[in-house]
Structure 1
Amino acid sequence: MEKEQYQKLEQYVTPKPPYLKNVAKAFVVGGLICLIGQAVSLFYMVFFNFTEATVGNPTVATMVFFSMILTGIGLYKRIGQFAGAGSAVPVTGFGNAVISAAIEHRSEGFVLGVGSNLFKLAGSVVLFGVVSAFFVALIKYILVTLGVVSW
């Protein structure tokens, strides 16, 4: 069989992915995660007197903690299989990535397994997040110093 014939056969046999259905599921689940995050923010503002300017950090920490708990009991994996990027793109996906690597290597021991593999998947996210935050802050500093913008 020639290469072109094989490619045509492969295209004919391979089922078409349901793009619209996948996008809708990702949108709904991602939206629900954001709705829960907004509820957590409002909880902190009402019961702990945080302001809109200060509520971000505890909200992010709480959402990451929730995703780590759900990953530990095996529920976040099912959510991810259903929603795809809808569960991976929000900050909860970061918590899932961190704890998944730790759970996967727990049989190797606490230090060599969990400790050394904890940031295996999420280490690049942390690295590039810190580096990009540095450059954004540097650009902001330069623009404010030159008087182009004021904050």
Structure 2
Amino acid sequence: MLKPTTRNLRSALPWLLLSALVIVLDLYSKYLVQQAFVYGEHLPVTGFFDLVRYHNTGAAFSFLANAGGWQHGFFTAVSTLASVVMVYLLVKQPQKTLFCFGIALVLGGALGNLYDRLTLGYVVDFLLFYYQQWAWPAFNVADSAICVGVALLVLDSFKNPT
């Protein structure tokens, strides 16, 4: 098991700061939406995008949102455990730039949504894209960071080991 050194911890700091930035942007944007919108309200922005205020009790993109309540504890536990593992990975290999960038985005997104889940009992979603009668589930800054982070991790997995 990795024995954290001061050097590893210092090297991981920029990645942890990136995660913190994602959390701040996510929570601030959700705060603004909660101040400006009542639950369920829509503000059309374009012919394919609305700002909305939805409450998601499920996971990303409303997965298991109507599961009866057990999912709250489950997603809280999974987010907490995953966050611990991601911090460990950032400290263990801070020099792996693309990998750490992806992990930092996923970590920030996971913690932003975890904060909502713990304090509100749901996650605030507000970005809604659609085309005619088809709509992508509403999402937020944290969900966006998680998706971009996962894409970076997939891209990193195709790199040749050095």
* Structure holding more strand per residue: 2
Q: Which structure is higher in RCO with an 8 Å CA cutoff and minimum separation 6?
A: 2
* Structure holding more helix per residue: 1
Find the structure with the greater CA-based Rg: 1
TM-score by length of 1: 0.31
TM-score by length of 2: 0.29
